[in-house]
Structure 1
Amino acid sequence: MTGIIGFAGSLNAPSRTRTLVETAVQRSAALSERASAIVDLADLGQGFGTARKLSDLTPQARQSVDRLIAADALVIGSPVYKGSYTGLFKHLFDMIEPEALKGKPVLLTATGGGHRHALVIEHQLRPLFGFFEAAVVATGVYAAAEDFADGQPASAALLSRLDDAAAQLASAVNEAGRRRPPDLAASAA
């Protein structure tokens, strides 16, 4: 099993998006007893923006994308600019085959300067992952700048939503693991 992989769709470092994704991944992984890792948009390298298909990516970038596709579950996060996710964030998902994420448990997160962007999860991210037929958990987590203190998620409402969403993702990934057919190599041993 590959565990729960987070994708932070921000080029900034440090990044509130990265911190939010990392917190959600850590909580979900602890509840599901799975390994975890984070892939940052910056990990895809400078040539990512000009790639037209996955085979155009550098080996390092392709390895990062393959980790996302192979994950047991995903925590996806994007900063919000002008009411939507970024172009490079969308560019990644434009290159992934629709079947690659079918049925995969996904927790959606987003960050923005204020609460006026809070519906980005429902109006932008959920339809995108609905196209992939991913198993998106019910609770999405949006965080505004004021929800952070010293660069960490801090507001009680945000932490409560993170707990709810992490529990939903952990439950979904554990349920998906129970439905997965046994590994043929393991049964042959």
Structure 2
Amino acid sequence: MEGAIERAEFDADLFDLGAHTIGFADGTPAEDTGDDTGTAIAAVESAGALVVATPIYRGSMTGSLKNLFDLMPVPALQGKVVGIVAMGASDHHYLGAERHLRDVLAFFGAVPMPVAVYLNGGDFTDGVPGEPAAAALDELFAATAETAAALAATAAGFEPAPLAAKAIKPRPAAAR
């Protein structure tokens, strides 16, 4: 991820959950946790777009990422374009994290990119992504930024209704 951020032709920051202390989703407001929870939420809220990356554990995203989503207010991700990167030791669970992330992002009303990047142990040498993996990450980063810019420029106000807040209302008879 760091290499893709360094190569990006736009401003990008890395927020590594492993380098921060995030409170447990126990109902405590983020501003009262006394840790980095508020900083993490602010980073998401201020981003023009996101690329979320997670290792695969038991066929899904990490618990720490799910915990952050549990703490995240819905407006922080609503209408935000999100690229997805998942990494696993093998290709055995290549769709697991992507499937779960898309479900969670739909809950928030985010706009996930249609194609994700999945990397396995064979894509790395000494912890560094090889050329095909680096190219895939660069392409995802660029496409995510371009999609976010296009959406902001051409579809002001477009954002899917978050499943979290969606109210099912009958359409007026004339609209049917």
State whether TM-score is above 0.5.
yes
* Aligned residue in 1 for 2:150: 175
Structure 1 unpaired stretches of 5+? 1-20, 182-189
* Aligned residue in 2 for 1:68: 44
Aligned with 1:85: secondary structure? coil
* Aligned residue in 1 for 2:13: 37
Does the alignment pair 1:22 with 2:25?
Answer: no
The amino acid across from 2:67 in the alignment is H
1:32-90 Cα shifts (integer Å, max 9, x gaps)? x3x22111113431x62365342333254312321122101111011111111122210
* Aligned residue in 1 for 2:59: 83
- What is the aligned length? 155
Distance 2:115 2:5 in 1: 14
RMSD: 2.3
Q: TM-score, normalised by structure 2?
A: 0.76
Q: Percent identity?
A: 30
Distance 2:25 2:137 in 1: 35
Distance 1:175 1:164, change over 3 A: same
Matches of residues 1-189 of structure 1 in structure 2 within 5 Å? 21-27=1-7, 29-30=8-9, 33=10, 35-45=11-21, 48-49=23-24, 52=27, 53-58=29-34, 60-154=36-130, 156=132, 158-179=133-154
1:87-124 Cα shifts (integer Å, max 9, x gaps)? 22101101112222111111111111111111124321
Say which one has the larger Rg: 2
Which one has the bigger helix percentage? 1
Q: TM-score, normalised by structure 1?
A: 0.71
Distance 1:41 1:137 in 2: 22
